[in-house]
Amino acid sequence: MIHGDHSFFLVIEGLDGSGKSSVARWLVTVLLDTLGPNVKLTFEPHDPSCAGLFIRQALMSKIRGGVPPNTLALAFAVNRADHCDRELRPFLEGAQRSPRMLVCDRYYLSSLVYQSSPELSRDGVMDLNSAAIRPDLTIFLSASNRTCYDRLRLRQEGKELFERNLDQTRRKYQNAIQFLRGRGDKVVEVDADGAASEVLTRVIDALAPHAPRWLEIQRPLPTEPVDHVFVPTETTIQTVAEANLGSQTPRNPSDLHPLGDFVQSLRDKVTRAMWALPFDQAATLFLDGIRCKGYEVRGRLPWTDLDAFELEYAMPLGMRQHGAALVLGNTQRYDMIVKKLMADPKVKTLDRMSDFLFVFDANPSHLINTHYERDILDSGDSASLSPSLTVLTRSDLADMVTQTALRHLQRERPLAVPEPRTLKRAPEDCVPRSVFEPSWRVAA
């Protein structure tokens, strides 16, 4: 626990098929009403560290000869340490400025269940994870075997290494929970049978006695979580940029400090606007940003019920690359949805889709933007590479809008920049070649 009065770290755990990922996402969506961008959702295993990629290969049985349990336990521990150092701790420490809540789908309770063995005790597993941040509360979703099996079947996913004996796994969870309680961890069990709205209400009730005073949760209406059906709007990055810029113009600076303050103020204003933006407008900006990068956004992919759009990119000599843009709804998790998309037997009707895939996740997830690993896909008579995947969030939209606003301001009123080597400009296109690199930055 760090900054206990100003931050709260919640872990959602459960059996495969218990609905933990959907509950975690829906809970964070509810928390957005009061916390806005000060609530984050993350999950483990955490990509794209080398350990994370190794774990993903191991879980999908792609490593020849298998992986010894101790090796896999070490990989999870390294992956978690990296997750804590680069993602969890920096976010929670930001609570010194304003209260923050972090929700994690799986954590070290899962390691105790899946990595402990006769050769590696629970104490040994925790020794490997000694650098991990202790959660303020862990909620374990306890679902019946029938519920888990039904939900797994509905997800239409291939079972991973650990989904073989539900009863044995349940006993391991119960023993691991008692072990953690003996070490001082707060672990609460919640019945996960029934409708998703009922489960979420039970989770909120279980969270309330342990939550800090500053945390306010509006109870959701008693309905099932419904993923947005995306309806494009007339919103564009250019119009949003100009609206947020307004009449603000910095004075021509004699040094970089006034300009830096102005850029930071503009970025903060745009970020708040992006979190308040309705889903349809945010998703429209996502597609507009892709369009500004030179991709042609075509119609919806007709062979899937997902909000997916065909993309084309013109190459020299008349060559064209093909890909897709995917918009996620409230309760969807990008790794699960991408797997569903690529597993669809109709995907091979778009045989050149292996070039690229852009995913927009409007939720406050702490996701990795680019996966450097590309899997081999079996397409019957031939094989192809999985898409080069890029995940964009509302924070990335804020970067796009801020960059566009600054370029608009530069055209309207050029700024006096004393040292060109110190302040760098992006190319004069709609969006920089990398949407993750700011168009203005102070050199280190």
Single pTM value for the model: 0.61
Minimum mean pLDDT among 145-149, 219-223, 284-288, 435-439: which range? 435-439
pLDDT digits (tens, 9 = 90+) for 62-76: 777 888 888 989 999
Domain ranges of the chain: 7-210, 227-444
Q: How many CA atoms lie within 13 A of 176 on its CB side?
A: 27
Average pLDDT on 401-406 reads: 89
| Strands across the sheet containing 7-14 | 39-43, 100-105, 7-14, 137-142, 187-191
pLDDT digits (tens, 9 = 90+) for 307-352: 888 887 877 666 667 778 888 776 566 566 666 655 555 444 444 4
DSSP assignment of 156-202 equals T----TTTT-HHHHHHHHHHHHHHHHHTT--EEEEE--S-HHHHHHH
pLDDT digits (tens, 9 = 90+) for 87-113: 899 999 887 778 899 999 999 999 999
From residue 416, give the alpha-carbon distance in Å to each of 77, 385, 403, 413. 50, 48, 18, 10
Does 432 score more than 90 pLDDT?
no
The CATH architecture assigned to 7-210 reads: 3-Layer(aba) Sandwich (3.40)
Does 220 score more than 50 pLDDT?
yes
Query: With contact defined as beta carbons under 8 Å apart, do 15 and 335 qualify?
Result: no
The whole-number pLDDT of residue 139 equals: 97
410 vs 250, higher pLDDT: 410
pLDDT digits (tens, 9 = 90+) for 417-429: 433 333 333 333 4
The whole-number pLDDT of residue 263 equals: 81
The whole-number pLDDT of residue 132 equals: 95
